[in-house]
């Protein structure tokens, strides 16, 4: 039975919400994270053998829409499309399933915040995102976009994927310092089985390309324009296109002039401004032809100015920008998994005991990275020992706020006995010679 047929055979049900503890396929629901007009997002974990656990995000089509064959086809199109994408800067889709009246995607769980939240927090704090961080984020988004644009079918035929909705809300910065492009739900691809309605606009108006706004043909260069808008806003902390309504916003994109970033930010690097404005060229032929070219220019810019950004640098920035959210996220993650595996109750978790993680970037990053290790964090009063690649419960993440006691000294008994024998022999020889 196909997924489409399974959906169409479902009896009409009231719009319901999955409850904590409810099982969907082989996943147990923890809670609902968000809900939109077409789908809702849940935090869940995989149910495996021998206590195996893996946190995942489940994107579930709203039941009333899942019963619509056209919507179900579009939803499954997204699953097939994203399942072909494998890149460190693209959130992965692990599974697609049908369970009763539920049609859902199982995706990589991203422990972080989208760039919309990052920008909002920076503005609230009266800060600008550092140029190095902005360029580093944009370079990673460009790398993910290029991987999508270059993706091919199993027979090596180009798929000509265009994301069409590259915006701060669809880029997630994880607290470990990774950048992930999400939501290919409206992406254009040559082999989609569903077709967009003629004249229907898809994407957020403020991040559309001029050709997208007028309903013209689009290709990868449309995503390059959106990437330019993203970089502009990251590096200036200012919205580029904002009208009274969507029509006014699109009119600005098609006809308006773009204010140079250097007029908004003092000492804005000339080389970075050239990259931004080239990506924002109104005529697609004047833009970068590929996201890879944007990525390479951003890398060269960063290297020439000594601004190369690692995942550690981005993680440290996020923890400085939003320390409370980092600590809350860690507590929530550990409490969720402890509840799942039936270990210590959540009430026993003490936020104060996690303060060293929130305040200490290196400790936090190493505590969530692969490889068991003992990590001295520069502070002799705090050590973190990671017993597993990723801690699955608080008992696996031991935080010692006092220096470990010195190891007991072991007496080398064989050497002690030998020394005693030599001393006895020396005394006996001395007494013998003296008596002789």
Contact 101, 67 (CB under 8 A): yes
Give the position of tokens 């310092």. 177
- C-alpha 192/C-alpha 161 separation (Å) is 10
Contact 128, 264 (CB under 8 A): no
- C-alpha 82/C-alpha 95 separation (Å) is 10
Alpha-carbon distance values, 276 to 8, 127, 138, 236, 294 (Å): 47, 21, 10, 11, 9
Q: Strand 23-24 relative to strand 102-108: parallel, antiparallel, unpaired?
A: unpaired
111 belongs to the catalytic site = no
In sequence order, the 6+-apart residues with CB closer than 8 A to the CB of 109 are 43, 55, 56, 57
Query: To 5 degrees, how large is the angle CA 98–CA 329–CA 126?
Result: 120
- C-alpha 436/C-alpha 420 separation (Å) is 24
- C-alpha 110/C-alpha 308 separation (Å) is 24
Partners of 93 in the β-ladder: 107
- C-alpha 379/C-alpha 362 separation (Å) is 11
What b/e sequence results for 250-283 when a residue is b if at least 16 CB atoms lie within 10 Å of its CB, and e otherwise? Answer: bebbeeeebeebeeebeebbebbbebbbbbbbbe
Give the position of tokens 């893996």. 54
Tokens of 324: 């409370």
Catalytic residue among 165, 223, 297, 377: 165
- What positions carry a catalytic annotation? 165
């Amino acid at each position: 039975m196909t997924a489409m047929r399974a959906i169409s055979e479902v009896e009409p049900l009231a719009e319901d919400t999955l409850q904590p503890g409810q099982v969907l396929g082989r996943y147990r629901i923890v809670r609902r994270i968000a809900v939109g007009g077409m789908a809702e997002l849940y935090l869940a974990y995989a149910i495996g053998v021998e206590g195996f656990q893996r946190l995942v995000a489940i994107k579930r089509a709203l039941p009333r829409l899942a019963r619509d064959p056209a919507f179900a086809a579009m939803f499954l199109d997204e699953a097939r499309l994203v399942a072909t994408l494998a890149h460190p800067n693209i959130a992965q889709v692990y599974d697609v399933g049908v369970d009763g009246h539920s049609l859902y995607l199982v995706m990589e769980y991203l422990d972080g915040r989208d760039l919309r939240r990052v920008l909002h927090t920076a503005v609230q704090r009266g800060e600008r995102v550092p140029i190095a961080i902005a360029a580093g984020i944009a370079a990673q988004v460009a790398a993910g976009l290029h991987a999508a644009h270059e993706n091919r079918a199993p027979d090596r035929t180009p798929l000509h994927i265009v994301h069409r909705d590259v915006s701060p809300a669809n880029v997630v910065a994880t607290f470990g310092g990774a950048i992930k492009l999400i939501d290919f739900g409206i992406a254009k691809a040559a082999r989609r089985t569903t077709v967009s309605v003629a004249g229907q606009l898809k994407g957020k108006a403020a991040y559309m390309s001029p050709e997208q706004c007028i309903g013209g043909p689009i290709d990868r260069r449309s995503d390059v324009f959106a990437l330019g808008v993203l970089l502009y806003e990251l590096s200036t902390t200012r919205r580029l296109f904002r009208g009274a309504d969507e029509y006014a916003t699109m009119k600005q994109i098609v006809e308006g002039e773009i204010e140079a970033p250097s007029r908004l930010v003092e000492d804005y690097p000339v080389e970075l401004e050239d990259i931004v404005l080239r990506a924002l060229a109104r005529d697609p032929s004047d833009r970068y032809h590929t996201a890879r070219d944007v990525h390479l220019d951003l890398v060269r810019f960063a290297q020439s100015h000594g601004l190369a950004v690692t995942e550690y640098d981005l993680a440290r920035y996020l923890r400085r920008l939003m320390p409370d959210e980092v600590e809350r996220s860690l507590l929530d993650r550990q409490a969720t998994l402890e509840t799942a595996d039936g270990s210590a109750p959540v009430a026993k978790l003490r936020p104060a005991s996690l303060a060293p993680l929130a305040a200490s970037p290196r400790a936090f990053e190493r505590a969530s990275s692969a490889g068991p290790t003992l990590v001295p964090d520069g502070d002799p009063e705090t050590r973190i020992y990671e017993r597993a690649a990723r801690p699955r419960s608080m008992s696996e993440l031991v935080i010692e706020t006092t220096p470990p006691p010195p190891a007991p000294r072991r007496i080398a008994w064989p050497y002690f006995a030998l020394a005693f024998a030599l001393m006895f022999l020396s005394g006996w020889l001395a007494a013998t010679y003296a008596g002789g």
